[in-house]
Amino acid sequence: MSLASRVSVPRVSLVDATQEELLLIRAAVPSDADGFCLMRSSAPDRWIVAVSRADALSEVVKVGSPTDRGLVIEAAMLRDLGHPSGFDVPQLVSQSVAHGRSVVSTRAVVGAPRRELHVATRVAVGLANLGLTHGDFAPWNLLGQAPTLIDWESAEWTLRPMYDLCHFVVQSEALLGRGRVTPVLKALTSRGSAGALYLVQLGRPLEEAVDHLVAYLDEADRRGTFMKSADLRSRLRTALK
């Protein structure tokens, strides 16, 4: 999610707020905030609260159920990662349980999504060198000049080779491109491609690229959470047979 650096975020009228919104406000909004905006997340039973101070976006607060494992994972990853080499991560402000809700607050990240494949490849190699998989590595989660990688709810300290790079390429083509198979295969499996550069950096042969792409397709299908790219993934399977 990309949010502008300067925002006008008014306080929700407590008279008009629903009971659920009142609980979210109490759980998520700092007392010294100038304003805030409540947004439903794509994740079930989760809200996102944008907090502003002095007319600038200050924090992004995710509020979920006490059993929201994604929020636990995100907080743990941001705490453990610290300052990785090659990319930035949001600063973890706090993690708590308030009013029966799990609350994770991070400093706001500003900047445009990064769609450049060479930038994504560099970050994907950095993730692999750390021995981890982000799990939802896509342009809208890679922001700003640095760049900064956000939304760590699906991350794991297990390396799935090429998973993040495959996800970036497939999601980009499915949601931002024309949903074509050929650009995906060219970007991931051909000589001189981003996939080839990634594998060279990890000391692996290019011949592994197709197997890693198939493994990505299997895992993405198993998770069942990236439905907007399901058709492209199906056509990729057909092309790889």
- 40 versus 231: the higher-pLDDT residue is 231
Question: In the structure, what pLDDT confidence band is assigned to residue 226 with cuts at 50, 70 and 90?
Answer: very high
What is the domain extent for residue 166?
117-240
Question: In the structure, what pLDDT confidence band is assigned to residue 54 with cuts at 50, 70 and 90?
Answer: confident
Which residues, 6+ apart, have CB-to-CB distance to 12 below 8 Å? 21, 25, 36, 37, 38
Is the same domain home to 53 and 126?
no
Which backbone phi and psi does 207 adopt, to 5 degrees?
-60, -20
Is the same domain home to 154 and 135?
yes
At 191, which amino acid appears? R
Which domain-ending residue is among 59, 76, 107? 107
Q: Considering its fold, how many domains does the chain have in total?
A: 2
pLDDT of amino acid 16: 67
34: domain CATH number?
3.30.200.20
Residue 112 lies in a domain: no
User: Which residue intervals of 155-193 are DSSP H helices?
Assistant: 163-171, 181-189
pTM for this one?
0.91
Is the same domain home to 96 and 132?
no
Is the same domain home to 81 and 142?
no
